[in-house]
């Protein structure tokens, strides 16, 4: 039997998960192998010593005190995600504004869907408004305002799309 297998069986014994068959194999090997027997005694002694240790838990607010003493500030995951979303919206808006591809694509779609033409006009107004809103924020630094601006842009986008589709549905009836 390999010593690696014996070490695994010793760990199973310490965890209380060893089967009677494996226990018999382990005992036979430990009786003839002084190295493994010594390793087993050391592991039993170490485990017993570890179980006697007292567990310490920090007081409430420990993390906040450490962070403030280090001069750091907490940033929440939603703020980071908001920055990424704002960056994505900004990149999409810049792509739509400066790339000829969206104009060509929307030109082809617009010939068959009049509602999309109206939506594109409304979206252009929103994009230009948001560009003027985002310019000072981007020049300074994107902080907690990023997620708010991203949320506002998303709500406006969904609102304008909904209104445009409602008008189109009314026109069809």
What's the pLDDT tens digit per position in 154-165? 878 887 877 777
Is the pLDDT reported for residue 40 higher than 80? yes
User: What residue numbers bound the domain in which 116 lies?
Assistant: 77-172
Same domain for 48 and 81, yes or no, is no
Mean pLDDT of 138-147: 59
Contact at 8 Å (CB) between 127 and 97? yes
Task: Establish if 64 belongs to a structural domain.
Answer: no
Query: How many structural domains compose the chain?
Result: 2
Q: Where residue 66 falls among pLDDT bands split at 50, 70, 90?
A: confident
pTM for the complete prediction? 0.35
Nearest Cα neighbor of 135 from 123, 124, 127 is: 127
């Amino acid at each position: 039997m390999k010593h690696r297998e014996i070490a695994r069986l010793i760990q199973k014994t310490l965890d209380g998960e060893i089967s009677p068959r494996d226990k018999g194999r382990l005992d036979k090997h430990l009786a003839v192998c002084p190295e493994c027997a010594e390793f087993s005694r050391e592991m039993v002694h170490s485990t017993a010593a570890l179980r006697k240790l007292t567990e310490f838990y920090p007081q409430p607010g420990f993390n906040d005190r450490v962070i403030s003493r280090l001069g750091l500030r907490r940033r929440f995951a939603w703020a980071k995600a908001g920055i990424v979303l704002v960056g994505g919206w900004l990149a999409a808006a810049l792509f739509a504004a400066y790339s000829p591809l969206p104009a060509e694509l929307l030109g082809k779609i617009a010939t068959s869907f009049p509602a999309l033409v109206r939506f594109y006009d409304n979206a252009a107004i929103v994009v230009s408004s948001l560009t003027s809103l985002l310019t000072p924020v981007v020049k300074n630094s994107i902080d907690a305002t990023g997620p708010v601006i991203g949320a506002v842009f998303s709500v406006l986008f969904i609102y304008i799309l909904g209104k445009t589709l409602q008008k189109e549905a009314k026109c069809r009836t």
